[in-house]
Amino acid sequence: MNILRYIPGFRSNVRWKKIIAVLYYLIALLMFTSSWGMGLLFLAAPFIFFSFVDVIRHKKKGLTLTKALLPLVLSLAVATVGLANMPDAAPTDTASIQTQANKQEVNPAQKTEPVSETESEKVQPVSEEKPEDQPGTVTPVPEEKPQAATETMVETSSNSVLKLHFIDVGQADSILVQTPKGKTMLVDAGNNADGNAVLSYLKTQDVKKIDVLVGTHPHEDHIGGMDTVINAFPIGKIYMPRATTTTKTYEDVLNAIASKGLKITAAKGGMSIDIDPTVKTDILAPNSSSYDDLNNYSAVIKLTYGKTSFLLDGDAEDVSEQEMLAKGYNLKADVLKVGHHGSNSSTTPAFLKAVSPKYAVISVGAGNSYGHPAPETLAGLASTGVQIYRTDEAGTIVITSDGNTIKIDKKASPVKPQAPPVSSGTASKSSSGSENKTVVVPVPAPSKEKVTPAPLQPSKNDVTVYITDSGEKYHKDGCRYLKKSKIPIKLSEAKAKGYTPCKVCGPPQ
């Protein structure tokens, strides 16, 4: 064990020196795991120091110069080997810089891709260059700021546009959003019978993946075709409010989600959706956990791109609108997707004043039995100078924004009540072109899902029952639930549309 006499820390029989030496050499061993050269240098350092001291004091210690120099030479040799094997940081930094340069060369190419093309990446977190507002608070950029406009154009290439497609699905809702970075969001998917039509439209827009899927609320005219979409496309994230119903439509959607191992993120006011760093996407409603009407659970979404903004209101009614106003959300938007197909239970004067839109889109079916859009809703919009676009008159409506200006591919509708029912051979508007062309097309017979013709002979199903704007039950005349709205409908048609009898008034079955 005489070799210990040459190891610093063990050359004397002092306990504390030995403890310090052991700790030092353990650290040296750890250094070897990160870098061989660094470990050797760290290990050689104490030997060099103490060997150098021995060379100076070798006569006093009774050592020959050779014995004193030998440890010093060996220590210096080990240190030299360690220095020679130290990691060279320069190549790594160069490689890193080269990698970043390569990425920068790729990005411009990605920006020039058509908006309809989607990337295979996951939904990217929002990381806007402009200051973030507080969660749930949406503040559009003021309209008259040339500097802000310049900054927006720097962020996006000349081909970077935000596109919203208000798909014509009759008395239902379905909105396709295509972002400047090629991401895709689908808000609702129409009725059950509309699933294939929505699917076909998405394919014509070259959609390969739905990065974000939103079911605003579990009514059939909003989530009916959603299971078809889920089964046909890869899905990123799904947002739906915490509202349930016992309908088969809702069950079909849940089964489609489960079959792909997907999860639902609960949509609620104050959240943000991470889809594209250039588009601020906020959920402004629902703001309560319990409502008497499913419509008020609607997920209300605001999109802000540059100096332009869009508010998608789902079927939110006056209760939800009042909550959004009370929360102090910035509701100002250039385009408003009018709530609940233009029903008089939505778009209250206070809400409309807060939004102050330039354009309004109403997704509504021609000749619907609900009387949508309501005359008072149309009058309220017209009185504030809003240009109105209706899917029952124009078909699918496509709105494009470059962050500064908004372009709409159809002409605004004249302010008038509900459009007359469509009959065979009636002229209808083409929904695929960018111009407002009129073509004559045969109208297919309505499906059983939507309308059941009354039988020629009188029957029990010929009796008249009543439904409400937002309920799921049919009632007989005089029921207490008909105080706010009372819409006559044939019993056979009510059954065909999925309405069930009210348990309070006991209508015919």
More confident residue, 251 or 435: 251
Q: Are 209 and 236 in contact (CB under 8 A)?
A: yes
pLDDT score of 34:
65
Task: Answer yes or no: is pLDDT of 157 > 60.
Answer: no
List helix spans (H) across 237-317: 248-259
Tell me what pLDDT residue 63 has. 74
pLDDT-derived band at 4 (thresholds 50, 70, 90) equals low
Q: CB under 8 Å to 73, separation ≥6 — which residues?
A: none
The residues near 148 (Cβ < 8 Å, ≥ 6 apart) are 141, 142, 306, 307
| 317 has a pLDDT exceeding 90 | yes
Locate 254 and state its tokens: 């849940």
Find the angle CA(361)-CA(450)-CA(346) to the nearest 5 degrees: 35
> What pLDDT does 2 receive?
60
pLDDT of residue 370: 93
For residue 293, what pLDDT band results from cuts at 50, 70 and 90? very high
The larger pLDDT score, comparing residue 302 to residue 46, is at 302
* Cα gap 279→305, rounded to integer Å: 5
Q: Of 108-112, 186-190, 341-345, which range is least confident?
A: 108-112
Please report the pLDDT score of residue 167 as a whole number.
Answer: 98
Residue pair 413/378 in contact by the 8 Å Cβ criterion: no
The band of 19, judged by pLDDT with boundaries at 50, 70 and 90, is: confident
- Give me the mean pLDDT over the 66-89 stretch: 75
pLDDT at 315 over 80: yes
Residue range 492-504, pLDDT digits in tens: 778 878 788 887 7
Q: Which domains does the chain have, with CATH numbers?
A: 2-84 (no CATH), 161-430 (3.60.15.10), 460-501 (no CATH)
Asked whether the predicted pLDDT for residue 132 surpasses 70, the reply is no
Could you tell me which of 296, 256, 301, 300 has the C-alpha nearest to residue 275?
A: 301
Residue 258, exposed/middle/buried by CB under 10 A (0-12, 13-18, 19+)?
exposed
Q: How confident is the model at residue 11 (pLDDT cuts 50, 70, 90)?
A: low
**86 token code pair:** 């130290």
Name the least confident of 85-94, 332-341, 462-471: 85-94
Q: What is the pLDDT of residues 215-249, one digit of tens each?
A: 999 999 999 999 999 999 999 999 999 998 999 99
Tens of pLDDT, residue by residue over 460-476, are 446 888 888 778 888 88
Kindly tell me if the per-residue pLDDT of 124 is higher than 90: no
Q: Is the pLDDT of residue 95 over 60?
A: no
Tell me, what's the pLDDT at 118? Answer: 34
Q: What is the mean pLDDT of residues 376-385?
A: 96
- Residue 117 pLDDT > 90, yes or no? no
Q: How much of the chain, in percent, has pLDDT values that exceed 70? A: 73
pTM of the model: 0.55
For residues 190-202, give the mean pLDDT: 96
Biggest CA pair distance of the chain: 130
* 3-class SS of residue 37: helix
For 285, the 3-state DSSP assignment is strand
DSSP labels for 209-259? -EEEEE--SS-HHHHTTHHHHHHHS-EEEEEE-S-----HHHHHHHHHHHH
